[in-house]
Amino acid sequence: MKNQIHKLFSDYKTGKTSRRYFIRQLAMITGSSAAALSLVPVLEENELRSGRAGDGKSELITEFIKYPGFTGEMRAFLARPAKGKKFPAVIVIHENKGLVPHIQDVTKRMAGEGFLTLAPDALSPVGGTPDDISNVGSLFKQLNGEETTKNFVAAVKYLKTNPLTNGKVGCTGFCWGGAITNQVAVNSPELDAAVPYYGRQPAPEDVEKIKAPVMAHYAENDPGINAGIQAFEEALKKYGKEYKIFMYEGTGHAFNNDSNPDRYNEQAAKLAWERTVSFFREKLKD
């Protein structure tokens, strides 16, 4: 029964079922509506405790939330320090595998650095990231590129007015998410900082629209992505944009992904992370 209740509560908190359905099913398990309603606060308190993680720097509160996107409700994973009132905010954009545990871990790590961090699920319009991601590529093919960008621009707006933030919002993303980070920078004048990791660059003529300072991380052995660096940098210079570009020697695409031992490069990932956090702290301060 314990596992059944846990699964039911998890489905409710992650948005898979409604509160009404959750209470009704819980009442069937516990024997009465009164018993179900008395159990809800206990479950929520247990979740709060288990949702707090530590990296030695900060105790965290994590939860799945929904925010208004361009195409409708967007599901997202949110992490923030348990202590404090107003935090600078960072959007984390996942790779082409969806909102997987690795990205949730990155989100918690960023929150551990003192940021309110939000990782939207880009696949929300097509049902969300599935548990089995073996065929997730077919879901990405169903996304409309322009609408996807607008869903992330909506995340910037959501965080700008969130009472738990200081009104400053940065964005970082990896691989596919790096490309989307660049597009958010082009399409959101409200964005305060952008850090794409090995992401495809925007069209040179679109760079003029970028308002946020940019820090871009690239892997040395990533010819497909790196082919666009020169034109990107030339456009950044042409339009007088604030930017930094870093190339990490001896690395390949996705060097930050510690869940992929074939790609992960600990030294480069650590250095890029330190640079990213420092950049966000500088650009997102009150």
For 46-50, 135-139, 163-167, 185-189, which range has the lowest pLDDT when averaged over its residues? 46-50
- Asked if 175 and 155 touch (Cβ cutoff 8 Å), the reply is no
Domain layout of the chain by residue ranges:
2-49, 54-283
**What is the spatial distance between Cα 208 and Cα 222, in angstroms, rounded to a whole number?**
26
For residues 220 and 44, the model is more confident at 220
pLDDT, tens only, 75-84: 999 999 999 9
Is the four-CA dihedral 267, 192, 62, 19 of positive or negative sign?
Answer: negative
User: Distance (Å, rounded) from C-alpha 198 to C-alpha 179?
Assistant: 8
The proportion of the chain whose per-residue pLDDT surpasses 70, expressed as a percent, equals: 92
Topology, domain 54-283: Rossmann fold (3.40.50)
Torsion 191-194-199-203 (CA) sign: positive
What is the pLDDT at residue 18? Answer: 64
More confident residue, 57 or 266: 266
DSSP-derived 3-state class of residue 37: helix
* Token duo for residue 262: 């074939």
pTM above the 0.85 mark? no
pLDDT score recorded for residue 53? 46
In whole angstroms, what is the distance from residue 150 CA to residue 9 CA? Answer: 31
pLDDT range class, residue 17, cuts 50, 70, 90: low
Residues 270 and 254: their CA atoms lie apart, in Å, by 13
200-207 mean pLDDT = 99
Q: Which of 76, 74, 70 is nearest to 90 (CA)?
A: 76
What pLDDT band is residue 130 in, cutting at 50, 70 and 90? very high
Separation between Cα atoms, residue 208 and residue 239, nearest integer Å: 6
3-state secondary structure at position 97: coil
- The pLDDT mean for the chain works out to 92
Quote the CA–CA distance of 172 and 273 in Å, as a whole number: 11
Q: What number is the average pLDDT over the span 221-229?
A: 99
pLDDT of residue 56: 42
181 vs 14, residue with greater confidence: 181
Q: Is the pLDDT of residue 41 over 80?
A: no
**Sorting pLDDT into bands at 50, 70 and 90, what band is 55?**
very low
